[in-house]
Structure 1
């Protein structure tokens, strides 16, 4: 066999040709929808357009999906399926995220699907005729999940045993798809790593985008710019996103965990999320962290006592209060809120590191098995067991039982459980 042999799978979507090395079978950039225009809702691919699909080459700019399977997987194997939604602040990313490569999953008998979706204004600008809670980027993923439901059996997967996995913006999308008004039974459980919701809605920020564009924010206007002056649209978006400072410029807002469907959810965060953000590093290095926390805490979402939050942040790390505020405001507060409000079973896990910060994205390759060894075995087992349907081996997150959290050290093999690790975040950011 050559290094990469072509293999064709016959599915309801058509005959799809991918590449195998004899162990892993990959299908790159498979189309799952038709997009009539950059700011229009995607649609299912009509049956008459289904034909031969060449999935041997990755096209990162396409709104498409990729599938990675064991080379011998076939119909009726009923392998568990991971559908992964990438992060990237709702601004960038691709369905070819190498940090979450599916090869280790395939070796463990798990199929991986990477979903691409529209980002920036094409995916998350809202117009006057959009339904409440509707975002084109999230609707793209919903169509992708429908494609998986119709086709994954042809690749050896079990459509009744799908775990939706997302990181950062992808975790936000996963939680939005798990809301009762969106949930259609296309997945059985959710793993949401470091979700991040913007603090203000697009409607409240629409005026600043209008100023940056110098044109009305309508579907027709943005479509003309995208087709005729894409560079002008790109520069205008860059100005718009700069105005939003440390917050996400786009994305779904008004998250309410009580609206989630009653399904198992595993929520994770890293303890130090955005310690490596340059602005936070500069502020803290100059000794201005406490001052900036006092000035910005309210604007960044702190509702409780700023003085108490600052005291606890400095107790954890006296030198980095601003770095902690950035990460808590962007990610950990949403983990706390989802854990507090979700109606179904929730388990919480937090990643720490030995003698250094554990930062945003650090856990992705560890969970996906791209770093092997005894020190990462517990982290990999957490992922594989959850995907296979095994209930996590520690207490679920409930106020009445101590709000338990599994602590996983990314630098050592240490695993422990602690109670209420997000207390300072919950008390600072969540309403009474």
Structure 2
């Protein structure tokens, strides 16, 4: 979608749980050079063995375990083309992360509070906003604070920023569940209609049909059926989110489910250090 890449080959975008590194490759290139032991050039990579490349990336990935090791950065929604975007995230993206589960299950409450706060700030949450963010996160789910922090840092902060600042029209979709967390990728089998052929569970099949038809309406028309644009149209309005329950197929319009992220994370390049 970047303006310098866009050539008009598509008319609208469904962006599902987009994720970005917090630092540019240029800032991390020296680390990769150290692990690789050779110049960071196309020729060097082409000549290297598969074993060496796998070992190098494993070390590099471990060094940047708190976010994406590689990818386009910095993310700047102002650089996007003026194309309608349907943004989506799951409410509980990374509750299943191993490190997050470990921290959330700690019995030592003092150490648990310290490690969650320390890690969250290292991942990019503003130090001065942590208490406010934690209050909001605990209102959603007090049992998975670290899991929520990982999901908010890796994905939902970028979703919120794009929703507010992309040049084109934006709409917001949030996947939920009634009796269990809505995790990263939980929506894929529904959104692509896989469950519609699963005759063993008619409820899943019907939910899949509802979601698949709804997304297709956006693909065909450029406007999601029954969903106002995400951005508030006036000072009296709030950001509007379509919450889709993957277990029941119920769609509800909810105000500002991502609002707690705006004061918690830097959403301009200067504050992010670019």
Q: Partners of 2:267 and 2:53 in 1: how far apart?
A: 38
Normalising by structure 1, we get a TM-score of 0.56
C-alpha contact (below 8 Å) 2:240/2:256 kept by paired residues: yes
| Counterpart check, 1:307 vs 2:131 | yes
| Secondary structure, counterpart of 2:260 in structure 1 | helix
Counterpart of 2:201 in structure 1 is none
Counterpart of 1:425 in structure 2 is 261
C-alpha contact (below 8 Å) 2:103/2:116 kept by paired residues: no
Residues 228-269 of structure 1: CA distance to partner in whole angstroms, max 9, x if unpaired? x22112111111111111311100001111222211110000
C-alpha contact (below 8 Å) 2:161/2:267 kept by paired residues: no
Structure with larger Rg: 1
C-alpha contact (below 8 Å) 1:289/1:322 kept by paired residues: no
Counterpart of 1:403 in structure 2 is 239
Residues 183-212 of structure 1: CA distance to partner in whole angstroms, max 9, x if unpaired? 110001000000000011111111211121
| Counterpart check, 1:379 vs 2:211 | yes
Counterpart of 1:192 in structure 2 is 15
| Aligned-pair CA distance for 1:367 | 0.6
C-alpha contact (below 8 Å) 1:191/1:267 kept by paired residues: yes
How many residues are treated as equivalent by the alignment?
252
Bigger strand share? 1
| Counterpart check, 1:415 vs 2:251 | yes
Q: Give matches, 1:134-283, under 5 Å.
A: 178-225=1-48, 229-283=49-103
Match for residue 348 of structure 1 among 172, 177, 188: 172
| Aligned-pair CA distance for 1:377 | 3.2
- Greater shift, 212-221 or 351-360, is seen at 212-221
| Counterpart check, 1:394 vs 2:230 | no
Counterpart of 2:154 in structure 1 is 330
Q: Partners of 2:250 and 2:50 in 1: how far apart?
A: 50
Normalising by structure 2, we get a TM-score of 0.87
C-alpha contact (below 8 Å) 2:171/2:228 kept by paired residues: yes
| Secondary structure, counterpart of 1:429 in structure 2 | coil
RMSD: 1.5
C-alpha contact (below 8 Å) 2:104/2:144 kept by paired residues: yes
- Relative distance call for 1:377 and 1:219 in structure 2 (3 A) is closer
